[in-house]
Amino acid sequence: MNKKAEENLIIGNVTYLLFVLIVVVGLFFFVTRAGSQAPLYEQIYAKQISLAINKAKPGMVFELDIFDIYNIARKNRFEGNIVLIDNVNNLITVKLTNGRGYSYNFFNDVHVDARIENKGELILDIKES
């Protein structure tokens, strides 16, 4: 085999291996994220919380059991805030992985303070906006 052919062979194989590696890594992350059912739970809880806030009146305090998604988040090694409330844009974001999470609007014009107590109890404090 001459030097030119050898170089072409190496370049061809390295390119092919890189392509396979990129596809496999991408597929791996996609399958592990989908397999944990995190995206589905993010959507379900964001919408449930949205319904609760839409129905709420200032002065109310909601206690929601979110033990199951708390455990999913910890299993995914996500240590950040699971439930984020953006009171400026009226947006709820539920994050169970290090991704962007799932966001959903609420139309009730209230200010919401959210905190998690006892490793899975979501407290929503509804105030005047």
What residue ranges bind another protein (CB under 8 A)? Answer: 1, 5, 9, 12-13, 16, 19-20, 23, 27, 30-31, 34, 37, 39-40, 42-44, 46-47, 50-51, 54-55, 57-58, 89-90, 102-110, 129
Q: Which is nearer to another protein, 70 or 104 (CB)?
A: 104
- Residue 14: φ, ψ to 5°: -65, -45
The distance of closest approach from Cβ of residue 94 to another protein in the complex, given in angstroms and rounded to an integer, is 11
DSSP 120: T
Q: Which is nearer to another protein, 69 or 110 (CB)?
A: 110
Q: Record the tokens describing residue 22, joined without a space.
A: 């990129």
The distance of closest approach from Cβ of residue 54 to another protein in the complex, given in angstroms and rounded to an integer, is 5
Dump the DSSP string for 50-75: HHHHHH--TT-EEEEE-HHHHHHHHH
The distance of closest approach from Cβ of residue 119 to another protein in the complex, given in angstroms and rounded to an integer, is 25
Q: Are 64 and 44 in contact (CB under 8 A)?
A: no
- Count of beta carbons in the 10 Å neighbourhood of residue 97: 19
Distance in angstroms (rounded) separating the CA atoms of residues 77 and 55: 33
Q: Which is nearer to another protein, 27 or 119 (CB)?
A: 27
Q: Which is nearer to another protein, 70 or 102 (CB)?
A: 102
